[in-house]
Amino acid sequence: MDSATDLSSNSSPKDSMPVVQTWNLGKVYRTGFWMNQKIESLKNCSLSIYQGETFGLLGPNGAGKTTLLKTLLGITRPSAGRAVILGKPIGDRGVKQRIGYLPENAYLYDFLTAWEFLEFIAGLFQIPKKKQRQRITELLDLVGLAQSTARKKKLKQYSKGMLQRVGMAQALINDPEIVFLDEPMSGLDPMGRYRMREIVLSLKQQGKTIFFNSHILSDIEQICDRIAFLALGELICQGSLDELLGTSNAYQAIVRGGNSESLAPWMTNLTRENNRWHGQLKVEPNLFVSHLDSTEASLVSIHLARPSLEEFFMQQLRERGIEISR
Ligand SMILES: Nc1ncnc2c1ncn2[C@@H]1O[C@H](COP(=O)(O)OP(=O)(O)OP(=O)(O)O)[C@@H](O)[C@H]1O
């Protein structure tokens, strides 16, 4: 069993198969002049990604997200454990034809136009010339780039957001079943991030499986079906948002007045801040409100107790004594 808390085991997407599965995957980089320094970038990493889901891998800088992705793609070799993609061991050539990859800071050839670059990539996948035109047109449509711009403008003249869209088009040229995206929103302005989110959602609608690396919690929260947290190379938990954050039937109340004895029958985990009592309701909000008089308190607010992904994430790191460098 892996060290991560796998909260998804009882509720994995029932109708689909894992398309990516890893068992105790590990990676140690050797560095230094004599290659005698070891960096353990990945430890005992076991996870499953199911067909058609958008899976978000979340973690602070240096957590090992890119290492895990590169290991899955066969770009770097694992030092321990094993993994299969689409039923084949990592590195399998046939599988490479069926997956797409958008690297973090992808290098695209400056002196080509987007059209020429996509033709080049299509050629690498041996897509017949006749089909290339249709495929590139479809992809430019999907990522929101005008054909006229794509045919005329050299990539060195593109903005970061436009380059990222060309990068996305190249990742999709072979109509992949699984798309691996390494920090696809990084460095984009709000409009660029919005566009990228829309593209990912349209891929999801086409039934593609998406593996998404990010340290931007709001992107993950909006897009992903399931999430895994990686910190210092270890998967510390994985599951759906509901499984990780809890389904929202617990309520947190804030009241003014009253005292710990009068509130105790109704609220638990009572704390006092700024002359107000904070606590979790033991009963339905309606029942509490209708008995408020008996507590001698007045109501300030009631809200769902579910933490945000950010609060959850920070708590997970604190519990493990992991500090995030700013
Ligand atoms: N080729 C390499 N040689 C040596 N160390 C490496 C190599 N690649 C990554 N590392 C180290 O492995 C650790 C994990 O790096 P990785 O890039 O996988 O993290 P990350 O979560 O993707 O970070 P970021 O969010 O900053 O991209 C870091 O300590 C990094 O310095």
pLDDT tens, position by position, 138-153: 999 999 999 999 999 9
| 238, β-bridge pairs | 6, 228
Q: Which CATH number is 265's domain given?
A: 3.30.70
3-state secondary structure of 235: strand
How far does the centroid of ligand 1 lie from the alpha carbon of residue 41, in Å? 7
Give residue 247's pLDDT.
Answer: 62
3-state secondary structure of 185: coil
* Helices 114-124/160-172 angle, 10° precision: 30
- Which run of H or of E encompasses 159? none
Helices marked H in the chain — which ranges? Answer: 65-72, 93-96, 114-124, 129-143, 147-152, 160-172, 190-205, 217-223, 241-245, 260-263, 285-290, 292-295, 309-319
Mean pLDDT of 280-285: 90
User: In this predicted model, which residue has the larger pLDDT, 245 or 183?
Assistant: 183
261 belongs to a structural domain: yes
Ligand 1 atom with least separation from CA of 31: 4
DSSP string covering 52-111, please? T-EEEEE--TTSSHHHHHHHHTTSS--SEEEEEETTEETT-HHHHTTEEEE-TT----TT
Q: Nearest CA to 233 among 65, 57, 118?
A: 65
Residue 317 binned pLDDT confidence (cut-offs 50, 70, 90): confident
Mean pLDDT of 176-198: 89
DSSP code for 113:
B
Ligand 1 atom with least separation from CA of 27: 12
Q: Which residue's CA lies nearest to atom 25 of ligand 1?
A: 61
3-state secondary structure of 15: coil
299 belongs to a structural domain: yes
Cα–Cα distance list, 165 to 14, 114, 150, 314 (Å)? 33, 10, 11, 31
pLDDT at 226 over 80: yes
Mean pLDDT of 285-312: 88
283 belongs to a structural domain: yes
Rounded Cα distance between 212 and 204, Å, is: 12
Q: Which residue's CA lies nearest to atom 30 of ligand 1?
A: 62
**82-140 confidence digits (pLDDT tens):** 999 999 999 898 999 999 999 988 778 889 999 999 999 999 999 999 999 999 999 99
User: In this predicted model, which residue has the larger pLDDT, 6 or 199?
Assistant: 199
Overall number of domains in the chain = 1
How far does the centroid of ligand 1 lie from the alpha carbon of residue 182, in Å? 13
Q: Which residue's CA lies nearest to atom 29 of ligand 1?
A: 62
How far does the centroid of ligand 1 lie from the alpha carbon of residue 108, in Å? 22
What residues line ligand 1, using a CB cutoff of 6 Å?
29, 31, 39, 41, 59, 61-67, 215
255 belongs to a structural domain: yes
Rounded Cα distance between 16 and 13, Å, is: 6
Rounded Cα distance between 200 and 206, Å, is: 10
Mean pLDDT of 264-271: 91
Nearest-5° Cα angle at 45, 40 to 46: 170
Tally Cβ neighbours within 10 Å of residue 106.
Answer: 16
Tally Cβ neighbours within 10 Å of residue 323.
Answer: 8
258 belongs to a structural domain: yes
265 belongs to a structural domain: yes
Give residue 105's pLDDT.
Answer: 80
Rounded Cα distance between 176 and 94, Å, is: 12
ipTM over the 0.90 cut-off: yes
How far does the centroid of ligand 1 lie from the alpha carbon of residue 37, in Å? 14
Rounded Cα distance between 299 and 302, Å, is: 8
43 belongs to a structural domain: no
91 belongs to a structural domain: no
The residue range of the domain holding 255 is 251-304
**Order of all β-strands in the sheet with 267-273:** 267-273, 276-281, 251-257, 297-304
